Each structure stands twice: as structure tokens, then as C-alpha cells.
Structure 1
Amino acid sequence: MIIMLAGSALVFGGVFGFVAFKNHMIKQFFATMPKPVISVTTAKAQMADWRAVVPAVGTLQAVNGVDISGAMSGLVKAIAFESGHDVKKGQVLVQLDSDVEMGDLRSAQAELVLARTSYDRSAALLKSNTVSVAALEKAEAELKVKQAKVAGLQATIAKKTITAPFDGRLGVRKVDLGQYLQPGQAVVNLQNLSLMLCDFTVSQKDLSLVAIDQKVTMTTDAWPGVVFEGSIAAIEPLVEAKTGMVSVQARFPNDEGRLRPGMFARIEIERPAGAPVVTVPASAVAYNLHGDAVFVVREEAGSDGKTVSKAERAVVSVGDRKDGLVVIKSGVTAGDVVVTSGQVKLEHGSLVQPAAADPLKTADAGAVR
């Protein structure tokens, strides 16, 4: 039993000793293993005159736009326009059948002539006291009734002719010859595209930054890369109580006809320029729940006397973003070199090798070519 216990202690002691020796050697290996040098791209934090913008999303509408419709019912007798053409104010678009009204008008005009003759006769006879004043007044009343009847029929006939209420461009025709048109039924859409209006909202905290005639810029998905310039035309005096937003309307010239009603647009209102701020590329900032941070490259002397570059994690406070840049309120000073790509492989104190160019941008440029 003593020999067996001694042998077991010897075997287990050897096993535990070997495991302890192996762990010690592994720790020693990792402790003395040289840190890998990670290739990253960098950029310098710079001071810049920053003009922040108030962003908004709006919807375009024409300065004048309407679905043209008739005020009277009737058969479509003539169509005097083509879909998609430009028209002038007062140009005839649709003529409705007015034969019945024209007949009634001729009858009413004949009655008007008779009523005027009767009035003139009564007026002449009154001078000789042949007729009474009451008879003259009755003849005058009959004359006015006939005049009103003629004017009413003329107005009805005029409404049978549908004209363009303003200059603009027509849409697609919605009626056909011989069709019976009901009052209010749409004939064609007409839009004045010379000037476009954009309705959008801004927060009440930005209300002090918005003023009438202030310059604004606009971009649309329909024309990528094209910036349209306009000005603020109106500001709603009422602040929406539920949302805290204020409605604003801007005007944009549209001489080339690029903008169309119904388009969605991105609006930017420039704020007044403030003091210069520190900016870095937006790709340099890592956003997370524990705080935004960047990796700053510091030059240090290595153990062999050579200069090495280390990445140090710096917690920052960020501000506005624009054109691929972000404002740094604290944590980085102008002139600091920050890592713009490759942060995923970094930790505090990692050795880095700044690359001459951004490999992602180089690859994208090659793909475009």
C-alpha cells in the first residue's frame, strides 16, 4: 500500500508539474512575443471654419397647379389642346355643346329688345301724362329682368368654354370627344413649372436660425449631384404643439424645368458661421454605447531605440457632421493624427503602420475605372 501510494503521488505529481510548467512557458511566450504592427490609414485633425446646417426633408409643389374642370355639364364638342404641351392664360382647351343655350339666348335677346322698346314708349308717353308713373316703373322692371336673363345665359355659354387659368404645362388629357362632362370632372392637369415651392418643417429650437429671404440649398434623387438654390418665402407663425415643429416654405427658380411637383427634396439651411472648430473624417469616429472614441497615433521610442507608432484610444465628444467630416468638441486637438480605417483590429497601445493611401478608396477608384 505504501509503495502504491508513493507511485501514485509520483505519477500525479509529475502530471501536475508538467501542466504547471507548460502554463508557465505559455505565459512567458505570450509575455515576450512581439506585438504585431497593424497597417492603418490616418488623417490629421484640422481647424476649420464650420458652417453648420439645419437639415430638413420637404415636398415640392408648383407655384400654380390645378386639375382643370368644367363648371357646367355638357357634351364635349371640341378639344383644342394636346397632352404635355405648354399653354397660355386664356387659351381655349375644351368647348362644350351650347346649342340649347344659344337658342335660349337669342329668344331672351328678342324679349330684351321688346322690353326696351316698351320702356322707351312709356317714358315718352309719361311726358304727356298719357301713362302713369306706375306703368313706367313696371316697364323698367321688365327691362331689367330681361337684361338679367340675357346676362345669365351669356355667362352660362361662357362657362361652356373651358380655358387655361394661367400659363403652364398640361398633363395627360382625361376626356374624349362626345363624352358627357359633369360639373367638377377633371379635364387635364395644369402646372406652372417656372417657380417651385418646397414645404418642409424645422424644429422650434432652430426657429431663430430661419428668416424670410434666407438662402437655402436643395438636392433631389432625380438629379444627383445637382444643388438647387432658393430662398425662404414664408414661415408658419404657429408652432405645432404635438411635435414642436414649424412649417416653412421656400421658393426655387425652375427655368430649366428639372423640378416637378410631388418630388421629395433634402433641404439645408446654413447657420451663421461661428468660431473655428476641430474636425476629423467621419470614418475616424467609432460610435458605441460606452462613448464615442477615436484612435490617436502617438510616436514613441521603442526598446531598440527606434521610433514606433502606437494607437491610443481617446474618448471624444462629437458635434455636427457634414461633407464627410465631423466636429470634435473635446478629446482631440488640431494636429493630432487619427486613424481613419483599420480600427476594428486595434486596441489601446497597438503598434500601427500608417499607410500611404486609403486602401478602400483605392479599391473603389479602381472599381470605378
Structure 2
Amino acid sequence: MLAGSAIVFGGVFGFVAFKNHMIKQFFATMPKPVVAVTIAKAGLTEWRAVVPAVGTLQAVNGVDISGAMSGLVKSIAFESGQDVRKGHVLVQLDTDVEMGDLRSAQAELALARTSYDRSATLLRSNTVSVAALEKAEAELKVRQAKVAGLQAQIAKKTIAAPFDGRLGVRKVDLGQYVQPGQMVANLQDLSLMLCDFSVSQKDLGLLGIGQAVRMTTDAWPGVVFEGTVAAIEPLVDAKTGMVSVQARFPNADGNLRPGMFARIEIERPSGAPVVTVPASAVAYNLHGDAVFVVREDAGPDGKTVSKAERAVVQLGERKDGMVVIRSGISPGDVVVTSGQVKLEHGSLVSVAASDPLKTAAAGAVR
């Protein structure tokens, strides 16, 4: 029984050891899989870095038009959305009471002027005293001031456009009683737009009055608006370290509107050419960003094979789907743009298709 047990257990252990040996031998001799990838060539590019910012548009002139006097709306001389010129009458308030007061004041003014002229004539013949003439002159000035005040009140009952622009939605109706400061309509001068944005103080040295600025908006995707820096705030915000900047953008076609959010790009001076690759070629990792570089090597059978080698890189700025590589690869290196998930250092690869658009964007090797 002992001999039989030894034979049985020996056979079992021997079979297990033989199986493990064969498994190890199979994996050791198994050919490495070939991963299909797409590639692009790292090239030297004339990189123009930009200072990005987000701003808000406002019209060069914009105001909520309102009256300075209260009264009933007698007439409305505009339509919602109408383009008006400076001085165009928009709303006329009722002036019947003021006109009556003005006619009364003008009659009193005429009487005061007659009294003054009579006193001045009589003074030359010493019929009246100088004090009487001075009193008549003071009364004349009071009446003149009263007439001027009533004329100013009547003028304020006429609400006109303070500048050329486009009106918004009408806010009053005929016969409505309006209070001082109540909005009649919004008026915006769309011929020139201002964009207020902030940049970091470290970029302050790159800004200057008249510097070119590019702007894009969600309302007009793909359209780039060209403008210039108009003003730079002399005070740096001590809490945020940001500097307020204002840029001007011509808006002859009226596409830009006040209140829009805009993305601003201010170009920095161009430097030496830099190495760039498509952004999709970078594998981001906590231990360091890397790219897989495709290199030719000799296989076991003497044939040339392509292998992917992991190269740790230092990244720079990004723009238009490209990223600057400060160190780690050289111009002309072929990098993997897709399929990196299946790769490890030394993996065999086959080029499924190159990406001509990204290759062209990367620039030719110089």
C-alpha cells in the first residue's frame, strides 16, 4: 500500500510539474503580438504662443434711455429695433401745463422789460432814483430766469436719442404716465465694440497699446474678429494678480452684440522653432507624460520589424490640436498617435494608417 501510494502521488506531482514546465515554455516561445497603430512625424514648427483670456463685450456707447421729468406719453416716434440718429425724437410727453406757465412767465417778462426801460429813461432826467432802476433790473432778471427754467422743463419733456445707434424693445405706451428715470428703450451704438478682459501680471510685459488681438465667440463659430488693445489698467489687482485690459473691435456688420462672452488671444513674439506632435500622441501619467516612438529593429529571423519605445517627454504649450515637446524626442521621430493603450515598451507595431492631416500640421522636419 505504501509503495502504491508513493507511485500514485509521485505521478500526480510529476504531472503537475510537467504541466507548469510546458506552460512556461509555451509563453516563453510565444511570438509577441503585433499592434496596429497610426503614426505622425514630430516636426519643427514656427510656434506663435498666445496669451488666452475670456472677456465680455460692450458697445462703445450704450444707455437705457429715460426721461428726466414725469408726465403722460403724448406721442411715440420710434419702433422697436429701429436705427436712429443723434437727436432723433423718441417720446414726447404732455407739456400743456408747462406751456401755459411759460406764456404767463413771458407776459411777466415783457412787463418787467418795459418797466426797466422806463426806469432807465427816467433816470437820465433824474426823475427816479438809481435804487428804483436796480430794482427794475433785478425784477427783469428774475422773470428771464423763470422763462428759461420753464423752457428747460419743456425741453426735458422731449426724449431724444443721445447718439447714433440701434434701439431695443419699446418699454412705454401711449397715454402711460412715466416717472423720472423710467426706461423708455435701450440704445446701443454697435459700430464699435469694446471687450473687457483680464490677463496675469506675468504677461503684462507682452501687452502694448495698439497690439493686435484676435477674438472668437460662440455666436459665430469659426469666425475670427481682429481688434487692437485700447487701454491697459495701470493698477494690478493685489488679490488676484490680474490686470484689466480693454480691446476695440470694429463691428460694421453688427454681428457682435453687447453682453456676449468672447475668447481672446494675444500673440506673443515668435521665438525659435520648436518640436511639435499631435496632442493625441501624448500618454498622460502621474509618473510622467510620455509618447511611444516607432523605431526599426532587426527581428529574430533577421527581418526588420517596428517596435514602440516609450519616451518620457516634457510638454509645453498646446494650440490647434498640437503640443510642444520641450525635451524627450527629436525632430523627425515617428510617434504613435492612436493605439497606445495596447502598447508597452518594446511592443511590435504595424502602421495601420498614418494621419496626413496631423503630419502636415506638425510641419516638415527642418
Place the TM-score, normalised by the shorter chain, in its bin.
over 0.9
Instruction: Write the distance in 1 (CA, Å) between the matches of 2:191 and 2:255.
Output: 10
**Shift in Å, 1:17:** 2.5
Partner of 1:144: 141
From 295, 320, 328, give the equivalent of 1:331. 328
2:40 touches 2:354 (CA, 8 Å); kept in 1? no
Closer, same or farther in 2 for the Cα pair 1:332/1:360, shift >3 Å? closer
Give the alignment's Cα RMSD to 1 decimal: 1.4
**Shift in Å, 1:18:** 2.0
User: Scaled by the length of structure 1, what TM-score is found?
Assistant: 0.95
Deviations 1:294-320 (A, max 9, x none): 000010011111110000000000101
The residue type paired with residue 305 of structure 1 is: G
From 198, 202, 205, give the equivalent of 2:199. 202
From 168, 171, 186, give the equivalent of 2:168. 171
Matches within 5 A, 1:67-146: 67-146=64-143
Partner of 1:273: 270
Closer, same or farther in 2 for the Cα pair 1:144/1:339, shift >3 Å? same
**Shift in Å, 1:256:** 0.7
From 282, 302, 308, give the equivalent of 2:305. 308
Partner of 2:260: 263
From 2, 10, 16, give the equivalent of 2:13. 16
**SS of aligned partner of 2:235:** strand
2:73 touches 2:173 (CA, 8 Å); kept in 1? yes
2:37 touches 2:353 (CA, 8 Å); kept in 1? no
**Shift in Å, 1:7:** 3.8
The residue type paired with residue 90 of structure 2 is: L
The residue type paired with residue 216 of structure 1 is: V
**Shift in Å, 1:360:** 12
Instruction: Write the distance in 2 (CA, Å) between the matches of 1:360 and 1:347.
Output: 26
Deviations 1:235-284 (A, max 9, x none): 11111111111110000000111000111110000000101111111111
Closer, same or farther in 2 for the Cα pair 1:114/1:309, shift >3 Å? same
Deviates more, 1:160-169 or 1:348-357: 348-357
**Shift in Å, 1:290:** 1.0
Deviations 1:12-69 (A, max 9, x none): 3332322222122111111111111111110111011110000111111000011100
**SS of aligned partner of 2:234:** strand
Instruction: Write the distance in 1 (CA, Å) between the matches of 2:282 and 2:355.
Output: 16
**Shift in Å, 1:335:** 0.4
**SS of aligned partner of 1:125:** helix
Deviations 1:144-165 (A, max 9, x none): 1000000000000000000000
Matches within 5 A, 1:277-296: 277-296=274-293
Instruction: Write the distance in 2 (CA, Å) between the matches of 1:14 and 1:241.
Output: 83
Partner of 1:353: 350
Percent identical residues: 85
Instruction: Write the distance in 1 (CA, Å) between the matches of 2:167 and 2:143.
Output: 40
Deviations 1:319-347 (A, max 9, x none): 01011111100001000000011111111
The residue type paired with residue 318 of structure 2 is: R
User: Scaled by the length of structure 2, what TM-score is found?
Assistant: 0.96
Count how many residue pairs are aligned between Structure 1 and Structure 2: 358
The residue type paired with residue 239 of structure 2 is: K
Instruction: Write the distance in 1 (CA, Å) between the matches of 2:105 and 2:280.
Output: 82
The residue type paired with residue 201 of structure 1 is: S
**Shift in Å, 1:358:** 4.5
